[in-house]
């Protein structure tokens, strides 16, 4: 069996070349694996095939004892799982000992989401008599319609939106491309913005970006965040609201409506479905609330 360093290098190359993950993600995975390898060496295990499920559990316990929070321990396990999955795929080991290890409980801290009524209020808040108001309402509608990250929204280019076919091409983390459908509400908003607002905001300037500010520059993430907070205040929404809240809301509403988890994973651009599964907790949590409230024998 190859040394830990060699195995790590091969796995990192795989993540970089075949998976196209970002540099930050790669660095995070590398750091997690180095810690795991150090633990194995301390246990006098120098062959990865000798590390069984019990050893992985011991490692997670050691992370907890060192004060690492459950979210960070869960991330470490996700890294280890991905590593073992790669080793099995490459036929370097016969079985995956991490399969039997559950993710650490995180107290089910669910991300904030908006109700459909709150979403409606938020989208209706920008002043549609102003060109920037038409733009802002269009951005909020598209963010909720697609669940894209705010960085993906503000860098969305004209050439990557097909209104007639009803989809946008998004380049997410690690420059991975994905196709996300948009509904008729978003299509109508974008059409209105393109015809009635964008040319006036540009004032003769040219821009490759869909959503523009003065002099053809795209809005910054921080700039849109400030606008969103202002509109939430005007709409009377008391929840802590960020662009990511709309991403959470998009996923939660889809799953509550019966969407397939894999389809939602694809639209969100998650590499690992475990990242998407947090939204199933939101959906089941609300179903439980509804059952307790309305079922005669709950």
Active centre residues (catalytic): 149, 173, 244, 247, 270, 279
Distance between CA atoms of 118 and 186, rounded to whole angstroms? 17
Q: Please name the residues in contact with 128: beta carbons below 8 A apart, sequence gap of 6 or more.
A: 134, 137
Q: Which of 7, 143, 180 is nearest to 80 (CA)?
A: 7
**Residue 94 DSSP one-character state:** S
CB burial of residue 36 (10 Å; 0-12, 13-18, 19+): buried
Q: Cα 121–127–128 angle (5° rounding)?
A: 100
Residue 7 · residue 36 · CB < 8 Å: no
Q: Which two tokens stand for residue 98?
A: 């991490």
Ramachandran angles phi, psi of 171, nearest 5°: -115, 105
- The values of phi and psi at residue 168, to 5°, are -125, 150
Strand intervals (E) in 97-191: 161-162, 167-171, 177-181
CA distance 89 to 83: 10
Do the beta carbons of residue 258 and residue 192 sit within 8 Å? Answer: no
Q: In angstroms, rounded to a whole number, what is the distance separating the alpha carbons of residues 101 and 240?
A: 34
Residue corresponding to tokens 């559990």: 57
């Amino acid at each position: 069996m190859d040394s830990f360093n060699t195995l790590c290098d091969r796995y990192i190359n795989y993540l970089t070349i075949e998976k196209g993950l970002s540099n930050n993600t790669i660095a995070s995975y590398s750091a997690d694996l180095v810690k795991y390898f150090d633990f194995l060496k301390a246990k006098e295990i120098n062959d990865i095939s000798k590390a069984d499920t019990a050893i992985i559990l011991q490692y997670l316990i050691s992370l907890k004892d060192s004060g690492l929070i459950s979210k960070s321990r869960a991330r470490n396990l996700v890294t280890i799982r991905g590593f073992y999955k790669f080793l099995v795929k490459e036929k370097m080991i016969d079985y995956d000992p991490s399969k039997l290890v559950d993710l650490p409980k995180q107290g089910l801290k669910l991300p904030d989401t908006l109700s459909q009524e709150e979403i409606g209020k938020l989208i209706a808040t920008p002043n549609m008599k102003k060109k920037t108001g038409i733009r802002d309402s269009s951005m909020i509608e598209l963010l909720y319609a697609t669940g894209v990250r705010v960085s993906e929204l503000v860098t969305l280019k004209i050439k990557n939106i097909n209104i007639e076919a009803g989809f946008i091409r998004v380049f997410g983390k690690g420059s991975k491309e994905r196709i996300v459908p948009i509904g008729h509400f978003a299509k109508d908003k974008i059409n209105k913005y393109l015809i009635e607002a964008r040319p006036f905001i540009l004032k003769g300037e040219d821009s490759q970006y869909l959503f523009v500010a003065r002099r053809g520059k795209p809005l910054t993430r921080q700039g849109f965040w400030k606008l969103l907070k202002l509109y939430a205040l005007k709409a009377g929404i008391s929840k802590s609201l960020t662009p990511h809240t709309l991403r959470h809301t998009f996923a939660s509403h889809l799953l509550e409506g019966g969407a397939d988890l894999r389809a939602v994973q694809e639209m969100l651009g998650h590499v690992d479905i475990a990242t998407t599964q947090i939204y199933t907790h939101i959906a089941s949590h609300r179903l439980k609330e509804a059952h307790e409230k309305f079922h005669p024998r709950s």
